[in-house]
Amino acid sequence: MTEPVVLSLLDQPGDPPRSSALTLPVPDGWPAPPQPAVYHGLAGEIVNTIAPETEADPVAILSQLLVAFGAATGRGAWFQVEATRHHPNQFLVLIGDSARARICCAQHILAYGAPQTMLR
């Protein structure tokens, strides 16, 4: 019997496993991680800075960061495509197994950790 492969949530399929104590086993039925291009720009830098310090899923951190940015920007900002104005406000629902109520961990990190991280 072989040992299960342990990957970081930021690893791509086919990447060699990291030799770090901060990796978690991939849960059964977990979707494949997104392409690295998802983490480009300032939002990606924030996620890549926060992700190694928490148990929160990087996709949850990124999603909540983008929704929080849209909420902070408000409906006063928009871009137009043909006759339709598109505002930055979005809606997000995080769904998953959470035996220890950690589903909102990414939101707490953004509320308390991101401002300190961005000031460094």
Query: Is this prediction's pTM over 0.85?
Result: no
Give me the sign of the Cα torsion angle 40, 43, 45, 50: negative
Give the pLDDT score at 3: 56
For 61-92, write each residue's pLDDT tens digit.
999 999 989 888 888 999 999 999 999 888 88
**Extents of the domains making up the chain:** 54-120
pLDDT of residue 25: 74
**What mean pLDDT is predicted for residues 7-15?**
58
Would you call 58 exposed, middle or buried from its count of C-beta atoms within 10 A (0-12, 13-18, 19+)? Answer: buried
Per-residue burial over 42-56, b = 16 or more CB atoms within 10 Å of its CB, e = otherwise: eebebbeebbeebeb
pLDDT of amino acid 42 = 94
Q: What percent of the chain shows pLDDT beyond 70?
A: 59
DSSP one-letter code for 39: G
d(CA 49, CA 46): 5
